Amino acid sequence: MNDEMILVTGATGKTGRRVARRLRERGVPVRAASPSSAVRLDWNDRTTWEPALRQVAGVYLVAPGLGGVQEAENLAAFTDRAAAAGVRRAVLVSFPHADTPGPDTDQVAAAEQAPTRAGLETTVLRPRWFFQNFSEDFLRDPVLSGDVRLPAGDGEEAFVDAEDIAAVAVEALTGDGHAGRAYELSGPRTMSFADAVADIARATGRDIGYTPLSPESYAAEQRAHGVPEEWVRLTVDLYAHVRSGALGSVTGDVERVLGRPPRDFADYAREAAAQGVWNT
Ligand SMILES: NC(=O)c1ccc[n+]([C@@H]2O[C@H](COP(=O)([O-])OP(=O)(O)OC[C@H]3O[C@@H](n4cnc5c(N)ncnc54)[C@H](OP(=O)(O)O)[C@@H]3O)[C@@H](O)[C@H]2O)c1
């Protein structure tokens, strides 16, 4: 499929941006799409779907809010249209296997099955927490504040690099033997939030700490900062999941697909610090 067009959805996001870059580096034609991109693709606006799907052989699917009924319906309708338009292959980003709180697991399963039901060769990626949450998303501000205050206790997570997720996605989109597979993508070691923050502190040379909060104190602090109630509830559940240790295992799937180990958090932290992402 290497000379045929790949549609990358969520192309401005943490994984989509990297998938598009890696495909282009391989000389694969890419159509990068999202609600704010030049090629506009919005899951909630079906008039944007057909133009994005023209003459495409494969799709990288990022569906924010995966786990909702509407998201699963949109994915089913979109992948049906994709198959009708001649698309043959799909890679979908989902959640760690069926036990992540927050999203409805039945709806996650429905979303995961949608591309296969549409007749596409499908690979599902189930990544753990991304490293880049600390540098490109909701954990960047806490890092910049110097005190990362979360209700994650000393629970361990096998954080994973969005670069490795993108590399696996590119293999699945362009290589053989990945159809029908679901990959649980973790980093090379489990670590607590205290460990992760300590790596960032070392990399930046700044005094940055981690303060474990009770779920109640965390929720009260978030509300005081005007954070929407839905996000407060979702993140309380997500951190409880981390605290429980349910995500504290290394899977080996990145190495199985790429033939090399996943990148370590400390290496990511050094590179991100050198790029100035945590400069105040
Ligand atoms: N972060 C984690 O630790 C983690 C862990 C496991 C799984 N996941 C899942 O991994 C997936 C990939 O996330 P990511 O980090 O690559 O993305 P991201 O950085 O959160 O960016 C979201 C992307 O989705 C696009 N988008 C937003 N609303 C949309 C809509 N209505 N229709 C179509 N596209 C829309 C955005 O485009 P615009 O910029 O144009 O708005 C952006 O490109 C998500 O489903 C996430 O839930 C994340």
Residue 278: φ, ψ to 5°: -110, 15
Please say whether the beta carbons of 94 and 66 come within 8 A.
Answer: yes
Structure tokens at 19: 């998938």
What is the CATH classification number for the domain harbouring 46? 3.40.50.720
- Choice from 22, 53, 62, 253 to test ligand 1 binding pocket (greatest atom count within 8 A of CB): 62
Number of domains within the chain = 1
Residue 271 lies in a domain: no
Residue 167 lies in a domain: no
pTM: 0.96
3-state SS, residue 68 = strand
Q: Which residue's CA is the closest to the ligand 1 atom numbered 47?
A: 64
- The whole-angstrom separation of Cα 148 and Cα 241 is 18
Residue 188 lies in a domain: no
Length of the chain: 280
- Choice from 17, 22, 30, 34 to test ligand 1 binding pocket (greatest atom count within 8 A of CB): 34
Give me the DSSP letters along 216-232. HHHHHHHHHTT--HHHH
Residue 199 lies in a domain: no
Residue 250 lies in a domain: no
pLDDT at 101: 58
β-pairing, 58-61 with 39-40?
unpaired
The Cα diameter of the chain in Å comes to: 55
Summarised one tens digit per residue, pLDDT across range 22-42 is 999 999 999 999 999 999 999
Summarised one tens digit per residue, pLDDT across range 172-219 is 999 999 999 999 999 999 999 999 999 999 999 999 999 999 999 999
Residue 228 lies in a domain: no
3-state SS, residue 155 = coil
Residue 74 lies in a domain: yes
Residue 61 lies in a domain: yes
Structure tokens at 270: 């050094």
Structure tokens at 209: 């700490």
Domain that holds residue 18: 6-127
